[in-house]
């Protein structure tokens, strides 16, 4: 191999490992990489803030299962990117963040923007490292791809000293990485078959990452053969078709009480890929810890997750692909005791997600979502950050196709807009919608400019109730009537869109949403639909005043 700069070697490795997109905010600390990208067959998206750039890369990892690639500069650039790292960590998303670093000759002098990235990112990554020799770049990048995608996927952070990126090295390229699948043993599958045959009310719960359309199809066939009700974990609704007769609903925030009752009454829970962390476990109340209180078969690609919180009756260290392929080898009972349970569970889900109850005010977010459900193509990608507005999306939209949901299980605000931009950049042919609260939008709303720059006609639906609604809800529940630090004064978001060169609409009534949405689509531009929500409409079930009154009543009895 001819001598190449460290920057050229790095970019060559990314191409070898199949990277097609990189998201970045440029910085002088990695100019040599930017120069190498100039001639590379890789699509580079220039973003307006490092947090947005990293979230775009995380969204790419979620949708493809391949590591999302992000470049940021040192110091403030790296710390600004940290929300995206935390999302990738808790959401089990493969991601590689490259951070510019000071010249190695200046190390440990607290040089300009110097940080110890192993220390800064060590607790929220699978691996954080720094390259100190250009000749080792192929080795380090190869390891990064393997680490980010193996076991439980997650983020890797690699610091790039300026001198290493400009040094010349004569070094061979690495071979493309390969994901290692873990498979269950025949003994474990026989054990599972016996437990299913002895069960009276089993249920499956799907979660985590490393799924694919083929793997979901395999599990769907298994569920049909066994007439097994299937639920999905928090913000993992794209893992099983909502219209499928075996679908029982999702374990999110404010889930269907009938689904919770079904799980609590189950005598065998098959958990595949997920961890049943705080949100899906309803603050760790759904199962006992460490003894779940009922037989639990836990399937996970990372052995460290098996027994970490719940002591499984049967622990199977397998990836979703390996496990679902093996499901073909087991046969259902001739007449399952639970026959017909799927139909009952699915009927309960349909009833729960069909007709939104009335809410205060003239704009109803549930009716908006229900209308969108009837209009959007099955492969439309729906994105959201954190906030009570998302509860209507998760409850009333029906996800029927894999890689259609981008929502952070870690509850990070500001995710919806950059996720939508990243998704549309990766899949320009697909419809991409971002939902955001007024507080959520303004955390990364500047990357609407990125959508305009690249002519990405995403549609952002801003649900504006003039406050940090989720915090206000909890505030009224815990400290009724004592409003503190949750009120917001917002701009005209439709005008904001127009100022950036996009399309803007303002909606105050439910009936006005459909024509506004249609005009936004017809514009062919990135668009913001500014929807005014009555502050009282805080959840699909209760108003803010009701929550406050219940809290006062509870305190008076205490």
How much is the average pLDDT of 242-253?
Answer: 97
Contacts of 126 (CB under 8 A, 6+ apart): 147, 148, 154, 155, 156
Q: Rounded to whole angstroms, what are the CA distances from 325 to 62, 240, 318, 319, 401?
A: 22, 16, 11, 10, 20
Specify the pLDDT at position 114: 81
Tell me, what CATH number does 218's domain have?
A: 3.40.50.1220
Q: Mark whether 331 and 366 lie in a shared domain.
A: no
Is 438 inside any structural domain?
yes
pLDDT over 70 (residue 363): yes
Residues in the chain: 558
Q: Mark whether 323 and 436 lie in a shared domain.
A: no
Is 238 inside any structural domain?
yes
**Residue 150 CA from chain centroid, whole number:** 18
How much is the average pLDDT of 64-84?
Answer: 97
Please state at what angle helix 416-426 crosses helix 50-64, rounded to 10 degrees.
50
283 secondary structure, DSSP code? T
Q: Mark whether 192 and 323 lie in a shared domain.
A: yes
pLDDT over 90 (residue 108): no
- For 304, the domain range is 186-350
- Among residues 169, 196, 227, the one where a domain terminates is 169
pLDDT over 90 (residue 469): yes
| Structure-token pair, residue 449 | 């400019």
pTM across the whole model: 0.96
Q: Which residues of 76-95 are buried (b: 16+ CB within 10 A; e: fewer)?
A: ebbbbbbbbbbbbbbbbbbb
Q: Mark whether 257 and 378 lie in a shared domain.
A: no
Question: φ, ψ for residue 309 (rounded to 5)?
Answer: -115, -50
- Among residues 302, 330, 350, the one where a domain terminates is 350
Specify the pLDDT at position 452: 98
Q: Mark whether 327 and 401 lie in a shared domain.
A: no
Is 404 inside any structural domain?
yes
CA angle 406–410–415, rounded 5-degree value = 45
Tell me, what CATH number does 81's domain have?
A: 3.40.50.970
Is 180 inside any structural domain?
no
How much is the average pLDDT of 386-398?
Answer: 96
Q: Mark whether 476 and 491 lie in a shared domain.
A: yes
Cα gap 452→186, rounded to integer Å: 53
Q: Mark whether 255 and 376 lie in a shared domain.
A: no
Q: Is the peptide bond before 323 cis (omega within 30 degrees of 0)?
A: no
Is 176 inside any structural domain?
no
How much is the average pLDDT of 127-154?
Answer: 98
| Structure-token pair, residue 444 | 């990364």
Q: Mark whether 549 and 433 lie in a shared domain.
A: yes
- Among residues 282, 317, 350, the one where a domain terminates is 350
Is 459 inside any structural domain?
yes
Is 178 inside any structural domain?
no
| Structure-token pair, residue 134 | 């250009």
pLDDT in tens, 298-345: 999 999 999 999 999 999 999 999 999 999 999 999 899 999 999 999
407 secondary structure, DSSP code? -
How much is the average pLDDT of 232-253?
Answer: 97
Cα gap 172→178, rounded to integer Å: 18
Q: 105: pLDDT confidence band, cut at 50, 70 and 90? A: confident
CA angle 241–246–251, rounded 5-degree value = 70
Q: 557: pLDDT confidence band, cut at 50, 70 and 90? A: confident
Q: Which residues of 213-232 are buried (b: 16+ CB within 10 A; e: fewer)?
A: eebbebbbebbeebbbbbbb
How many CA atoms within 13 Å lie on the side-chain side of 31?
Answer: 7
Q: Mark whether 490 and 435 lie in a shared domain.
A: yes
Q: 428: pLDDT confidence band, cut at 50, 70 and 90? A: very high
Q: Mark whether 284 and 318 lie in a shared domain.
A: yes
Is 426 inside any structural domain?
yes
Q: Rounded to whole angstroms, what are the CA distances from 7 to 101, 113, 130?
A: 13, 20, 14
Q: Mark whether 359 and 343 lie in a shared domain.
A: no
pLDDT in tens, 282-308: 999 999 999 999 999 999 999 999 999
Domains identified in the chain, total number: 3
Contacts of 162 (CB under 8 A, 6+ apart): 29, 30, 32, 100, 101, 102, 103
Q: Mark whether 128 and 33 lie in a shared domain.
A: yes
pLDDT in tens, 22-66: 999 999 999 999 999 999 999 999 999 999 999 999 999 999 999
DSSP string, 126-184: SEEEE---GGGHHHHHHHHHHHHHSSS--EEEEEEEHHHHHSEE--PPPPPP-PPP---
């Amino acid at each position: 191999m001819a001598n190449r700069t460290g920057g050229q070697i790095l970019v060559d490795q990314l191409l070898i490992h199949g990277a097609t997109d990189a998201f970045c905010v440029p910085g002088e600390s990695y100019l040599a990489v930017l120069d190498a990208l100039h001639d590379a067959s890789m699509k580079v998206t220039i973003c307006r803030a490092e947090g947005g750039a990293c979230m775009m890369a995380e969204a790419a990892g979620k949708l493809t299962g391949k590591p999302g690639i992000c470049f940021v500069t040192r110091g403030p650039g790296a710390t600004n990117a940290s929300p995206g790292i935390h999302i990738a960590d808790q959401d089990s998303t493969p991601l590689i963040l490259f951070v510019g670093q000071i010249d190695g000759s200046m190390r440990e002098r607290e040089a300009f923007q110097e940080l110890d990235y192993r220390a800064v990112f060590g607790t929220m990554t699978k691996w954080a490292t720094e390259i100190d020799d250009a000749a080792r770049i192929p080795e380090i990048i190869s390891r990064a791809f393997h680490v980010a995608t193996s076991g439980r996927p997650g983020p890797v952070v690699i610091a790039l000293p300026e001198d290493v990126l400009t040094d010349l090295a004569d070094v061979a390229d690495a071979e493309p990485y390969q994901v290692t699948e873990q498979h269950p043993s025949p003994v474990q599958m026989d054990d599972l078959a016996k437990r299913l045959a002895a069960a009276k009310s089993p249920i499956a719960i799907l979660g985590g990452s490393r799924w694919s359309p083929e793997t979901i199809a395999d599990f769907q066939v298994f569920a049909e053969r066994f007439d097994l009700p299937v639920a999905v974990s928090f913000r993992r609704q794209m893992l099983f078709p909502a219209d499928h007769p075996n679908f029982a609903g999702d374990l999110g925030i404010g889930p269907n009480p009938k689904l919770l009752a079904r799980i609590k009454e189950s005598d065998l829970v098959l958990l595949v890929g997920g961890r049943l962390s705080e949100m899906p476990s309803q603050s760790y109340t759904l199962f006992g810890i460490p003894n779940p209180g009922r037989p639990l078969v836990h399937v996970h690609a990372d052995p460290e997750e098996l027994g970490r919180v719940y002591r499984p009756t049967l622990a199977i260290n397998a990836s979703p692909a390996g496990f679902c392929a093996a499901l073909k080898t087991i046969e259902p009972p001739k007449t399952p005791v639970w026959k017909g349970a799927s139909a009952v569970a699915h009927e309960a889900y349909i009833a729960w997600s069909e007709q939104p109850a009335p809410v205060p005010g003239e704009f109803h977010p549930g009716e908006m979502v229900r209308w969108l459900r009837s209009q959007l193509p099955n492969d439309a990608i729906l994105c959201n950050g954190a906030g009570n507005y998302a509860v209507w999306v998760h409850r009333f939209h029906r996800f029927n196709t894999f890689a259609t949901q981008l929502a952070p299980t870690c509850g990070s605000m500001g995710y919806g807009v950059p996720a939508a931009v990243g998704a549309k950049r990766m899949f320009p042919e697909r419809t991409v919608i971002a939902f955001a609260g007024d507080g959520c939008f303004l955390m990364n709303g500047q990357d609407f400019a990125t959508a305009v720059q690249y002519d990405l006609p995403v549609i952002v639906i801003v649900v504006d109730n003039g406050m940090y609604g989720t915090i206000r809800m909890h505030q009224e529940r815990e400290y009724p009537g004592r409003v503190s630090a949750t009120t917001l004064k917002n701009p005209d978001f439709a005008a904001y869109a127009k100022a950036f060169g996009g399309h803007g609409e303002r909606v105050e009534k439910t009936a006005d949403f459909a024509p506004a949405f249609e005009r936004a689509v017809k514009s062919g531009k990135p668009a913001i639909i500014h929807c005014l929500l009555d502050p009282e409409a805080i959840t699909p079930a209760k108003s803010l005043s009701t929550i406050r009154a219940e809290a006062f009543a509870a305190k008076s009895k205490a």
